[in-house]
Chains A and B, each alone.
Chain A
Amino acid sequence: MRNWFKAKRPQLGLTGLVLGALLLLIVMTLSTIPVAAAPQSQDEPPTDETCLACHQQEGMTAQIGGQPLPITIDPEKFSTSVHGTEEVACVDCHTNITGFPHPEVTASSPRDFSLELYPTCQECHLEQYEKTLDSVHQRALAAGNNNAAVCTDCHNPHTQTRLTDKTTGELLLGARLVVPQTCAKCHSTIYETYRQSVHGAALTEEGNQYVPTCIDCHGVHDIGDPTSNSFRNSTPYLCANCHTNETLMKQFGISTNVLNTYVADFHGTTVKMFEENYPDQPTNKPVCTDCHGVHDIMRPDNPEAGIAFKKNLLVKCQQCHPDATTASFTDSWMSHYEPSPQVFPLVFFVNLFYKIFIPAVLGGMILFVLTDVYRRFIMRRAPAKGESHE
């Protein structure tokens, strides 16, 4: 089973990023300013103080390829950022800045500039950086989509605060609250949908940190392709990571029987066996999200569209069974219930019948067979007291 939930939170290597960005900014500003270049090597690399002397001024921008790039650094924010507190210096990332004027910027646009600089992050954050190489973002980038997120798009290196515990690497309390907004920078419509879902509302409105954010399902740095067959096929286990967790579900009063009841049913049995054998192949049998939704998951008892109501569930059934027209069809799916005398009694009693009938019949057979074995193979060999059995 995939270990989605525990996807190790990165040691956010923001230091490098922050510095990188700082350097970038400096480079850009300066490079656009025609200064009489009197290149002279300086032995001491510029200190943050030196950089900030200029770059803390508000409203500074550099022109790159005719587009403005803001190059103001808020010293306050930087000093409280994880890079600031870890004393990562501007030039640790902006390594090509050795003084003023800064070297010429070769990037053709501010975006291009970010794309040139972000690999610096791997100097400190190699693990996370390498994970991103497998991500859907990196693939999009390689395919020529420059909008695809790189390190610095999610982690502003100049302001990113610490997200994980320094020693354990666990996500800090509160960090989860900012995750959806981070992703929303690019995926705003999905965020809006998520915000209204049962998960998203709990997070954004109540600040409940035990509900999934984007990364709990999609991963953090090695974000996979959510449209892939393998991702879809593994959905039941993904959801089950939380939904079979007793302690987690207890606070919501939700059953943890969702996975076993799903697998026990026709659809789940199929997907389970299918997923085991052909994780990459498509199957048209439903997984959790086909009935519950993806980003728009809502409470089943939601009066408008909750699938605890037959009419709403029937709509879901009809996605695959267009000929299903009767509401009674929806009862052929036991809605994650375990049959009991109260719920799905017929199923309960059929099961009960076989629970008694099978051992009774087989027990009788075995008993009879044993007596036959006794008579046929044991008695016959025993030196019968002058009696012939045959």
Chain B
Amino acid sequence: MSTPATRTYERFPLARRIEHWTMMLSFTILAITGLPQKFPASELSIAFVYILGGIENLRMIHHFAAIVMMLGTAWHLLVFGYLGYVRRTRLSMLPNLQDMKDGWQALLYNIGRAKTPPQMGRYTFEEKMEYWAFVWGAIIMGLTGFMMWNPLTTTRLLPGEAIPAAKAAHGGEALLAVLAIIIWHMYGVHIKRFNKSMFTGRISEQEMLHEHPLELADVKAGIAERPVDTVALRKRQRIYLPVATVLALFMLLGIYGFVSAEETALTTVERQAPTVVVFVPWTATPAPTQTPTSPPTETALPTATPNATQLAAGSSTPGVASALTWDNSIGAMFQAKCASCHGAGALGGLNLSTHSDAMQGGASGPVIIAGDGANSLLVTRQKAGNHPGQLTPEEIAQVIEWIDAGALEK
């Protein structure tokens, strides 16, 4: 027989350990995919979401982990039914008044106000507290999770406000759960003393003595497990099997319904982008065109062709060269060819509207030196060419002739 120092007792059979690891994994995944959604403004969240392939991916993982946890819970309920009904094991996880007393005594002992720590059984008050906190959390998270997962279904039964309220509760409860695990579970199981029983499944006698002395006593006394009547056990097993099957089916169906109750809240339809006709110009083209009043040739531009010929024709009629005067031809010629600039506008000070104005000249002085056509500024400018409102050579000749003859008005 082994000594008390090496003797160990079974604490968690393999199936329970697998269950624990499954729940632990899904819990962790839910936490790390859920918290970034609770704190979307945090840089850390954003980086994390990026690592996990984006928010939609993150949600898929979150939902997947939730399904795993739901399945784990269903399994746990079936096991609970088996242990409670078929095996008739003691319901050692149920909380009772003694747990409160134990907790109080533990506190007093810690601060030196009690001489001994509480003597506890298979599950200490710390373990029970954590277990029932998990149960509470699972219920809250499951309910609120369903509401967020299926808002359309939910709002057919409840007011719409239930959805944001569910979101608030889901987030609050999540934060509580994660922090409680970090503080309570981490300290109680990993820090104050590294508890290996969830890995090995076993617990040493020393540990039993310190942490579960009442259970150890029961084990030693042989009353830890109730005596099993094999016949009755078989009978209950035969009853429980179909019941458990039905229960399992119902739970699976429930999970299926949970996941697939509605479509359009999860996979919303493709966004219909509004279409707008973009280019609808106001009346005219971007550069508003003034409708031309008449063909451009008829505008009072210094156009050479039509008026010039007219003029030439007109000037040739009298036949007598010396008959050229301002009134009978030169004035009209200037009016037609020069007035745009050298009319009332008097570009460069030169106004050729009337004979007297013309004789006054412009900013550069007189442009007409009576009797000296060749040296008149008007003629030299025109002869140089390229003047806006250019006179034809014939017209220039007429002007010279007119000036040479004294640039008469009449």
Q: Which chain A residues have a beta carbon within 8 Å of chain B's beta carbons?
A: 29-30, 32-40, 42, 49-50, 53-54, 56-57, 59-63, 68-70, 72, 99-101, 110-111, 114, 147, 149, 152-153, 156, 184-190, 227, 263, 265-266, 268-270, 272-274, 276-278, 282, 284-285, 290, 294-295, 319-324, 326, 328-334, 339, 344, 346-347, 350-351, 353-354, 357-358, 361-362, 365-366, 368-369, 371-376, 379
The 3 closest A-B pairs by CB, nearest first: A331-B160, A354-B172, A38-B385
Instruction: Determine which of B50, B279, B285, B387 lies in contact with A277 in the assembled complex, contact meaning CB atoms within 8 Å.
Output: B50
Known: A38-B386, A153-B287, A353-B172. A365 touches B296 (CB 8 A): no
A374 touches B54 (CB 8 A): no
Evaluate contact between B268 and A284: CB separation under 8 angstroms. yes
Q: Which of B279, B294, B385 has the most CB of A within 10 A?
A: B279
CB under 8 Å from chain A, chain B span 381-395: 384-388, 390, 392
Of the four ranges (under 10, 10 to 19, 20 to 34, 35 or more), the interface on chain B belongs to 35 or more
Task: Give complex CA distance A147, B281 in Å.
Answer: 9
B341: chain A residues at CB < 8 Å are 50, 53-54
CB pair A365–B386 under 8 Å, yes or no, is no
Q: Give chain A residues whose Cβ lies under 8 Å from the Cβ of B37.
A: 269, 273
Query: What residues on A are CB-neighbors of B167 within 8 Å?
Result: 266
Do residues A331 and B107 form an inter-chain contact, with CB atoms below 8 A? no
Residues of A within 8 A of B276 (CB): 189-190, 294-295
B45 interface residue per 8 A CB criterion: yes
Give Cα A30–Cα B281 distance, bound, in whole angstroms. Answer: 29
Does A347 contact B281, Cβ atoms closer than 8 Å? no
Q: Is B259 an interface residue (CB 8 A)?
A: no
- CB of B270 closer than 8 Å to a CB of A: yes
Chain B residues within 8 Å of A328, by CB: 155-156, 158-160
Q: Are B187 and A284 in contact (CB under 8 A)?
A: no
Contacting pair A274 B264 (CB below 8 A): no
Say which residue of A69, A187, A320 sits within 8 Å of B279 (CB atoms): A187
Q: Which of A36, A56, A60, A375 contacts B301 (CB 8 A)?
A: A60
Are A62 and B296 in contact, with the CB atoms below 8 A?
yes
Cβ of A272 to closest chain B Cβ, rounded Å: 5
- CB–CB B55/A153 < 8 A: no
**Inter-chain contact A70/B290, CB cutoff 8 Å:** yes
Q: Are A278 and B272 in contact (CB-based, < 8 A)? A: no
Besides A40-B385, A53-B340, 17 other CB < 8 A contacts? Answer: A50-B347, A54-B340, A57-B300, A59-B299, A60-B299, A60-B301, A152-B287, A187-B278, A190-B280, A277-B50, A320-B268, A324-B264, A328-B159, A339-B168, A365-B183, A371-B111, A379-B112
Q: 7 A-B pairs, CB-CB below 8 angstroms?
A: A53-B341, A54-B302, A274-B55, A284-B269, A295-B276, A332-B161, A362-B179
Q: How far is the CA of A162 from the CA of B173 in the complex (A)?
A: 60
List residues of B whose CB falls within 8 A of some A CB: 36-37, 40-41, 45-46, 49-50, 54-56, 103, 106-107, 109-112, 148, 151-152, 154-156, 158-165, 167-169, 172-173, 175-176, 179-180, 183-184, 187-188, 192, 262-265, 268-274, 276-282, 285-294, 296, 299-305, 340-341, 345, 347, 384-388, 390, 392
Indicate if the CB atoms of A35 and B278 lie closer than 8 Å. Answer: no
Known: A49-B347, A321-B268, A358-B179. A147 touches B279 (CB 8 A): yes
A367 to chain B, nearest CB (A): 8
Distance in angstroms from B265 CB to nearest chain A CB is: 6
Separation in Å of the A192 CB from the closest CB of chain B?
Answer: 9
Q: Please tell me if the beta carbons of A326 and B168 are within 8 angstroms of each other in the complex.
A: no
Query: In the bound complex, what is the Cα–Cα distance between A295 and B280 (angstroms)?
Result: 15
In the complex, what distance in Å separates the CA atom of A371 from the CA atom of B188?
12
- Does A188 contact B282, Cβ atoms closer than 8 Å? yes
A33 engages B301 (CB within 8 Å): yes
Q: Report Cα–Cα, A69/B291, bound state, in Å.
A: 9
**Residue of A with least CB distance to B188:** A369
- Given that A61-B290, A110-B289, A332-B164 are contacting pairs, would A323 and B301 also be in contact in the complex, using a CB cutoff of 8 Å? no
Contact A320:B269 (CB < 8 A) given known A70-B289, A190-B278, A354-B176: yes
Instruction: Report chain B residues within 8 Å CB of A111.
Output: 285, 287
For A330, the chain B residues whose CB sits under 8 A away are 160
Q: In whole Å, how far is B237's beta carbon from the nearest beta carbon of chain A?
A: 40
Known: A59-B290, A61-B290. A321 touches B109 (CB 8 A): no
Q: With A100-B386, A284-B270, A375-B109 in contact, do A369 and B282 touch (Cβ < 8 Å)?
A: no
Task: Please name all residues of chain B whose beta carbon is closer than 8 Å to the beta carbon of A319 when the two chains form the complex.
Answer: 269, 271-272
**Complex CA distance for A8 and B286, rounded to whole angstroms:** 24
Output the nearest chain A residue to B342 by Cβ-Cβ distance. Answer: A53
Cβ–Cβ < 8 Å partners of B293 in chain A: 59
Report the separation of the CA atoms of residues A178 and B269 in the bound assembly, to the nearest whole angstrom.
40
Chain A min CB distance to B156 (Å): 6
Contact partners of B50 in chain A: CB under 8 A:
276-277
Do residues A329 and B172 form an inter-chain contact, with CB atoms below 8 A?
Answer: no
Q: Contact at B40–A272, with CB atoms within 8 Å? A: yes
The answer to whether residues A331 and B155 also contact, given A100-B387, A152-B287, A187-B280 and a CB cut-off of 8 A, is yes
